[in-house]
Structures are given as C-alpha cells and as structure tokens.
Amino acid sequence: MTVAEQRDLATALGVETPGDGAITWELLAGQIEPRSDSTFASRGDAIRADLAGRLDRELLERERAAIADEIGRLPAVRDAGVPDEQHGLYTAVAEPGWRLYDHLLEIGFFESLDENLPRFTADHVETTTRELILTDPLSSALDDVGFDESEKTALLVDVANNDERLARWVPSNQIPAGVEFETDTVPPLHQRAMGGALLWIRGLDRHLWQNEVLVTDDLLDAAVRYVKAMLGGLFVSATAACDLAGDGRFTDEQLAAALTAGSAVQIVSQEELLHTVFYVTDEMRAPSELR
C-alpha cells in the first residue's frame, strides 16, 4: 500500500490527512462521523429477514475460527517457499473457506445478497467504507486474527479506491440483455467473488510448483500478501454471516457494509494476485541459469 493510495482513501472519505503520518483505520475511525442511511439499513434488515433460520451458526463459527487459523499459518506457508506438490500448502489454506462456501451455497446466501444489495457504485462503495471503519467489533476481530493497522487499512483501500474496477462485477440479476453469453448460468456476484478467491488460492500450489524456475522471493511474498488479503475478505464475510446467524452485534447498516466489503476485498485481491503472481513477466521472473 503506497502513500498515494492512503491519501486517495482519505480523499474519497473527505478526511484531512496528516502532514507526514500514516493514514490508518484507527485514524480514520476517529475522524469519520456516523451517517444515518435508511437505504443501507433496510438492505441489511432485508437480508436478515430473508436468511432467518437458514444459517448453521455452529458451522459458521467453526469455519470462521478455522479461517483465522489459516491466516495465522501464512508465515509458515511463506517460509516453506515453493510447494513441492500440486495440491499442498495453499490447497490446505483454502479448505475452511470451501466448507464455508458450500454451506452458504446450499442455503441460498449468495442469491439473497444479489437480490438485496445493489451493484457497486461510487456512492455504495463510499458508504460501505464509512460503515466498515465504524464497525468496532469487526476492527477488533481483524486485530485478533493478525491484521496490523497497515494491513487493515489496505483492506479499506481495496474497497474505497476501486469503485470503477468493482463496477465491472455485476450482480447476475442485473446483467443486461443482449450480452454474448448465457446469463442464466452466471452465478451470483458474491458467489463469484468468494469462489473465485478460493480457486485462485488453491491454484497457487500447481502454479508455483510448475513454474519453480521462474519464482522469486518477491513473487512468493506477493502470493502470501494477496492470499492474506483474500482470507481477510473471507473472514469479514464469515463474520457477517455469523452475525446473521445470531451474534447480532452489527447494526443493519454495518451488516450490509461487511457483506459488501468482504466481497470487494476478495475481488480486488484475486485480480491483483492474477496480475502479480500468475502473469510472470521477464522483469519479474528469476534469472535463467542458462544465461
């Protein structure tokens, strides 16, 4: 996360930036005033009503804790370097996420989000970011699973600074007629976000193993950085699902924000992983031993 990205975040939120200090989640939380948004609240309330009684709280809490464990295990994954098999380190990292995904898929979670949340627009992204910053239970939960202030702020940057990129991800029920593919088979937006993130994480084992001669320490660092961001987004989504299942610590506005932000982080991070780690240019690759 660059200084320019931090300042863009502050500008998007209308917050004055310190002259030479870092812009952090904590700093922003002290400067942003809460806004009452009845539309945002109604969306959260509608999701609660739609999914009432469908979510397995015990399963959600178990897999949320397992995702947290995998976040904590990432330094060891990085220390291990290039995987020595096609289904190893990163496949294991993604496993709790797949169990969460399967449950959410089974109970119609993703369809409910497509029905009740709007597509990504500049206004929706800004409101999401503001609510996210003011959601103290979520900020504390990210602290507890190993996200420092810089990493937490990077999650905010993923949401707030990428409204145009996110706008390209359209809910399946809002894809316009006349496109060159069969829209009936397109999964809901939030399903694509979570499933895509998990597929990219799982794919790292094979990619790094097959391309070991190209892999540098910088590529391995980037892989773990973006995997942690995707797991962070997944953890946010899981935390919101746990709230739906009975925690009730979030307001309806905060619930809508957490569900939106979790998907946004997963979208941006999987795209960054693709372009930074899977597309290995000559400038990025390890030097050839034949030269």
For residues 143 and 29, is the Cβ–Cβ distance under 8 A?
Answer: no
Is residue 26 assigned to a domain?
no
Q: For residues 19 and 225, which has the higher predicted lDDT (pLDDT)?
A: 225
Quote the pTM value. 0.93
Q: Of 40, 206, 54, 246, give the one whose Cα is nearest residue 131.
A: 40
Total tally of structural domains belonging to the chain: 1
Q: For the chain, what is the mean pLDDT?
A: 90
For residues 284 and 178, is the Cβ–Cβ distance under 8 A?
Answer: no
Q: DSSP secondary structure string, 185-209?
A: GPPPHHHHHHHHHHHHHHHHHHHHH
pLDDT at 235 over 60: yes
pLDDT band at 289 (very low <50, low <70, confident <90, very high): low
pLDDT band at 53 (very low <50, low <70, confident <90, very high): very high
Q: At what angle do helices 57-80 and 217-242 cross, to 10 degrees?
A: 170
Segment 2-22, tens digit of pLDDT: 888 888 898 888 888 766 678
Please give the residue range of the domain that contains residue 193. Answer: 55-167+186-278
pLDDT reported for residue 284: 63
Is residue 199 assigned to a domain?
yes
Is residue 29 assigned to a domain?
no
- What integer is the mean pLDDT of 174-194? 80
For residues 226 and 277, is the Cβ–Cβ distance under 8 A?
Answer: yes
The maximal CA–CA distance of the chain, rounded, in angstroms, is 64
Lowest mean pLDDT across 30-39, 44-53, 54-63, 87-96: 30-39
- The amino acid present at 269, given as its one-letter code, is S
Is residue 2 assigned to a domain?
no
pLDDT reported for residue 290: 43
Is residue 193 assigned to a domain?
yes
pLDDT reported for residue 288: 53
Q: Of 77, 52, 91, give the one whose Cα is nearest residue 221.
A: 77
Please report the sign of the dihedral spanned by the C-alpha atoms of residue 58, residue 61, residue 63, residue 69.
Answer: negative
pLDDT reported for residue 172: 85
Upper half-sphere CA count for residue 188 (Cβ side, 13 Å): 18
Segment 270-283, tens digit of pLDDT: 999 999 999 877 56
Is residue 24 assigned to a domain?
no
Q: DSSP secondary structure string, 40-83?
A: HHHHHHHHHHHHTTTS-HHHHHHHHHHHHHHHHHHHHHHHH-S-
Is residue 3 assigned to a domain?
no
Segment 141-155, tens digit of pLDDT: 999 999 999 999 999
Is residue 191 assigned to a domain?
yes
- The amino acid present at 189, given as its one-letter code, is L
Q: For residues 206 and 22, which has the higher predicted lDDT (pLDDT)?
A: 206
Neighbour-count burial of 177, counting CB atoms closer than 10 A to its CB (0-12 exposed, 13-18 middle, 19+ buried): exposed
Residues 6+ apart with CB under 8 A from 262: 233, 234, 235, 236, 237, 238, 239, 240
Residue 98 CB neighbours (<10 A): 17
pLDDT at 242 over 60: yes
pLDDT band at 38 (very low <50, low <70, confident <90, very high): confident
- What integer is the mean pLDDT of 242-248? 89
CA torsion angle for 208, 213, 219, 223 (degrees, to 10)?
10
